[in-house]
Amino acid sequence: MYRTYTFPIYPDKHQALILDKMFDQLHELIKHRVKLYKEIPVQKGVNANLVPYHSLQYVDNTAKLIIKHKQFGLENDSDFYIKLKKHMYFKMVNFKITTSLSVKSKEGIVYNIPYRMTDYVKTKLNGDCMVSIKIFKKNKKYVASVLIKIKPTVVQEGIRAGLDIGVKVPAVLYSENQKIRFYKGGKYRRYLFSKQVSLLRNQNLANVRKIKVSRRLRDLDHKISSRIIKDLKKMKVNQLNLEDLKYIQTKNTKQLYSSWSYERLQKYIIYKCESNGISVKKVNPHFTSRECPVCSLHNVALRRIYSCECGFKQHRDVVGAMNIMSK
């Protein structure tokens, strides 16, 4: 399992000039490699005296990614990388984080750049293995993003729980000790979805407003997943069952369901569970909201209230979480 941690760096004027040259050289290397893969005649090579040898594999992977996007309908593949932030990539052998961030160029020159990092990130970097680092410019400020490999935590003994992900109610949790948790945010999410659709239809609006809406949706999913993990730790859950909803986007699905960010929310829940020692199991969601957890009869909920002939009565999403937990 891999995680990225981002923190600001503060190079001086000379170091900033060197970083800008590294950005341009890596940018030109990727464009040159794309031309070679597409068999476009190239007049001369690229002067890349600052890019380390270990970064050439990253150049190849990025060039192949650009060509892959061209195959999937991108009009101009040369503009694909230009739209991204210019950045520099270092493998573990070319950087070191101590009291300062030390990066090594192709010529062997080491540049020590000051940085600012929280104590939480420092403990993560000390305890896990660093793989690579990216340095890029954001709003005229330099930022470093470290990729680390997290050691798997040992799953402790506990109880099972089931999580039902929905549209009106983003998530409902049910555990073996019969504890129920509802997670709010459905109305706000639907408002953001409608706003995002209206912004995408209007081409005259700036991209900044569109990006802000997508950031709010991601932030909402992060907050919901964090609350779920907090409750799972309080309940001492060691296994969480989730719905396998990869086949939900069909041709007859409504727009609300097709824009439902269940995949992103599930991804956030899964990686946070793994980092906290909770195992995740995906189950078949077939008839989870219709099957009675007591007598196994199939019924249809009326106004979000599920009732059965055996006398069982409960909220429809709670019934789904109960059936997901029992699978």
CATH number at residue 285: 3.30.420
d(Cα 195, Cα 200) in Å, to the nearest integer? 9
Question: And the tokens for 229?
Answer: 């993990």
139 and 174 together in one domain: no
pLDDT tens sequence across 180-235: 999 988 888 778 777 777 776 776 665 556 667 778 888 888 999 999 999 999 99
pLDDT band at 246 (very low <50, low <70, confident <90, very high): low
Question: And the tokens for 135?
Answer: 């340095």
pLDDT tens sequence across 84-93: 567 788 887 8
Q: Flag whether pLDDT at 168 surpasses 70.
A: yes
105 and 163 together in one domain: no
Tell me if 137 is assigned to some domain.
yes
How many angstroms separate the Cα of 30 from the Cα of each of 78, 95, 111, 224, 317?
10, 21, 24, 39, 49
Could you tell me the residue range of the domain that residue 21 belongs to? 2-149
d(Cα 27, Cα 12) in Å, to the nearest integer? 22
Tell me if 154 is assigned to some domain.
no
Confidence at residue 33, expressed as pLDDT on a 0 to 100 scale: 84
Mean of per-residue pLDDT scores for the chain: 81
